[in-house]
Amino acid sequence: MSMKTSMKVTVKTKEGLVGISPLCNGAFVKIGTDMTWPGAGQRARELAWKLRYSPEAVNIKEMLVVASIIEAYLELTTCTQKKRDMVCGALKSVANAEPAERV
C-alpha cells in the first residue's frame, strides 16, 4: 500500500513568500501568515471531475475541500481588487512554479 506524502514548499513572489500547505495532499496554498486558499491545481480538477461523474465516491474530506473552493470563489467576488490581484497572483505563482523555483 503506497501513501502519498505532501511536502511543504515555498515559492518566492512579489507579494512575499508563498507556501503550499500539506493539507489534503497539497490542495491548499498558504499566503503569508494569515491566509489559506484552496489551490488551483490538478487536485481541484480531479474533484470537479469526481463530482460530475462519480459523486457517490466523494468522501467527507473531499466535500470539505469543495466547500472551501466555493467559499474562496465567493470571497474573490466580494473582496477588493488589490486583495484579489494579490491572491490570484500568488495562486498562479504556485501553480506555475517549476521545482527549481521552489525554495
pLDDT of 69-102, one tens digit each? Answer: 999 999 999 999 988 988 888 888 777 765 444 4
Question: Greater confidence, 29 or 78?
Answer: 78
The residue-averaged pLDDT of 51-73 equals 93
One-character DSSP codes across 52-69: HH-GGG--HHHHHHHHHH
Which residue in 6, 13, 16, 12 sits closest to 41, CA to CA? 6
- In the prediction, which pLDDT does 89 show? 82
Band of residue 12 on the pLDDT scale cut at 50, 70, 90: low
pTM of the model: 0.69
Longest Cα–Cα distance of the chain, Å, equals 46
Which 3 state secondary structure label does DSSP give 26?
coil
